[in-house]
């Protein structure tokens, strides 16, 4: 295990996709005295390693669409940049809409997507049923589909960025927990850990669902709420067609996508209480599976291969927080509300721009600062599952 340096130009707290992407993009810009701290034994075993791997262009706000327009092509060319395949599979996302209010909202969303160059298809209810003959959607009013939405592998992206960051000089240390942040005169001076202190004037909080707790150590209040989400994978389903897309029953926050020879399916619990519990809730699994089998009847023939629960890092407007805080040298890249993995590549690029250039310029994320919550500048994302 690498020893902990005593000083660093930048300390990044969190070894998931945000942390390693930021380290990689800083190193590529020449800032190589960077330390990434991960409390787990392995990188990407927090929220990143417990996500469903979806990547999409279909969002409801301009900033999220622009983040996808940069981030997803970064995933497509990830192997040539890092030497590691991201296992990107453009299977398409198909949102199925069953409520009139969602139809109206998604029409506006698709108009915005088209204006920004994302050619999402609009489907009527009959077209949804034609495309999903093995599913049961008698109540489908409409749907949207984008062919380049799909899946990628979280572990591969984390390892690829970490490998290249290390090759360029970054220190990435696992099995080390941050226990405090040293602040003097409203300026960070260092990080206190279970392996000793690191003196630094710049800290990046990339701790995902734990980012609020890390911020408290610096005297910063971040409205990031951890919420449990869970899903399962099934045994092989021989009747599953090879062109099965990522299907989202939007009203129920219920989703399905191919996983191996079976299906990965999950459903968000609207009554989930905030907290850090990452155990599977068996009662909610029964509710979920009843709804899932009603939509995909062939699930009744499948067994359960695996179960996983992880944490969303939710903000009041379902948008991330980028940039500086009221404490000098304390920066944040967190709060992605379930969309962090897909936006991890561009998020690291933008954080490198913020730290080196003073502002992000590849995508303007200045409106996603931490101050927006106390100033009432919220930007709400509708397409949250």
Same domain for 238 and 288? yes
- Sheet (strand 196-199) strand order: 178-184, 187-193, 196-199
Same domain for 142 and 230? yes
Nearest Cα neighbor of 308 from 193, 190, 176, 154 is 154
Same domain for 257 and 137? yes
Q: What are phi and psi of 244, to 5 degrees?
A: -60, 120
pLDDT of residue 41: 87
Strands 262-267 and 254-259: antiparallel
pLDDT of residue 1: 52
Of 291, 312, 333, the position where a domain reaches its end is 312
Which domain covers residue 252, as residue numbers?
Answer: 90-149+225-312
pLDDT of residue 49: 64
Q: What is the pTM of this model?
A: 0.96
Of 312, 331, 365, the position where a domain reaches its end is 312
Each residue of 170-208: pLDDT tens digit? 999 999 999 999 999 999 999 999 999 999 999 999 999
Q: Is 324 exposed, middle or buried (0-12, 13-18, 19+ CB in 10 A)?
A: middle
pLDDT of residue 73: 98
Domain count, the chain: 2
> Beta-carbon neighbour count of residue 327 at 10 Å?
17
CATH of the domain at 326: 3.50.50.60
Render 176-243 in DSSP notation, one character per residue: --EEEEEEETTEEEEEEETTEEEE-S-EEE--GGGHHHHHHHTT-----EEEEEEEEEES--TTS-TT
pLDDT of residue 70: 98
pLDDT of residue 3: 79
Same domain for 42 and 161? yes
Same domain for 189 and 338? yes
Query: Does residue 185 form part of some domain?
Result: yes
Q: What's the count of helices (H) and strands (E) in the chain, helices before strands?
A: 10, 19
Measured distance CA(99)–CA(173) in Å, rounded:
48
Give Cα 113 to chain centroid, integer Å: 20
Of 312, 329, 351, the position where a domain reaches its end is 312
Contact, 297 vs 272, CB < 8 A? Answer: no
Query: Does residue 129 form part of some domain?
Result: yes
Enumerate residues 6+ apart whose C-beta is below 8 A from 267: 231, 252, 253, 254, 255, 284, 287, 288, 291, 292
Query: Does residue 62 form part of some domain?
Result: no
Same domain for 305 and 231? yes
pLDDT tens, position by position, for the chain (385 residues)?
567 999 999 999 999 999 999 999 999 999 999 999 999 988 876 666 667 789 999 999 999 999 999 999 999 999 999 999 999 999 999 999 999 999 999 999 999 999 999 999 999 999 999 999 999 999 999 999 999 999 999 999 999 999 999 999 999 999 999 999 999 999 999 999 999 999 999 999 999 999 999 999 999 999 999 999 999 999 999 999 999 999 999 999 999 999 999 999 999 999 999 999 999 999 999 999 999 999 999 999 999 999 999 999 999 999 999 999 999 999 999 999 999 999 999 999 999 999 999 999 999 999 999 999 999 999 999 888 8
CATH of the domain at 284: 3.30.9.10
Same domain for 115 and 242? yes
């Amino acid at each position: 295990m690498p020893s902990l340096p005593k000083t660093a130009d930048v300390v990044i707290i969190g070894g998931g996709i945000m942390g390693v992407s930021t380290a990689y993009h800083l190193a590529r810009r020449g800032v190589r005295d960077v330390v990434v701290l991960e409390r787990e034994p392995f990188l990407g075993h927090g929220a990143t390693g417990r996500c469903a791997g979806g990547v999409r262009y279909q969002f409801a706000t301009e900033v999220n669409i622009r983040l996808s327009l940069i981030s997803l092509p970064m995933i497509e060319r990830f192997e040539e940049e890092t030497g590691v395949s991201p296992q990107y599979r453009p299977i398409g996302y198909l949102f199925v809409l069953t409520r009139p209010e969602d139809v109206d909202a998604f029409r506006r969303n698709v108009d915005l997507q088209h204006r920004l160059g994302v050619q999402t298809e609009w489907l009527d209810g009959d077209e949804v049923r034609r495309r999903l003959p093995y599913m049961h959607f008698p109540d489908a009013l409409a749907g949207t589909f984008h062919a380049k939405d799909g899946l990628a592998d979280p572990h591969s992206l984390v390892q690829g960025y970490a490998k290249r960051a290390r090759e360029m000089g970054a220190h990435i240390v696992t099995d080390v927990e941050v226990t405090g942040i040293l602040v003097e005169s409203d300026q960070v001076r260092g990080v206190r850990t279970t392996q000793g202190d690191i003196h630094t004037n710049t800290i990046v909080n990339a701790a995902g669902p734990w980012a609020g707790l890390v911020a408290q150590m610096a005297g910063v209040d971040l409205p990031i709420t951890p919420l449990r989400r869970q899903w399962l994978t099934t045994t092989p389903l021989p009747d599953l067609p090879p062109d099965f897309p990522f299907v989202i029953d939007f009203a129920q926050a219920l989703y399905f996508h191919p996983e191996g020879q079976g299906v990965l399916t999950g459903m968000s619990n609207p009554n989930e209480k905030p907290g850090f519990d990452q155990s599977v809730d068996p009662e909610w699994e029964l509710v979920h599976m009843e709804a899932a089998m009603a939509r995909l009847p062939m699930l009744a023939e499948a067994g359960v291969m695996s179960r996983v629960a992880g944490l969303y890092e939710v903000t009041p407007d379902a948008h991330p927080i980028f940039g500086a805080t009221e404490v000098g040298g304390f920066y944040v890249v967190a709060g992605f509300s379930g969309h962090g993995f897909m936006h991890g590549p561009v998020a690291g690029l933008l954080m490198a721009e913020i730290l080196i250039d003073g502002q992000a310029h590849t995508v303007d994320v200045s409106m996603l600062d931490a101050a927006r919550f106390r100033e009432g500048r919220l930007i709400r994302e509708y397409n949250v599952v």
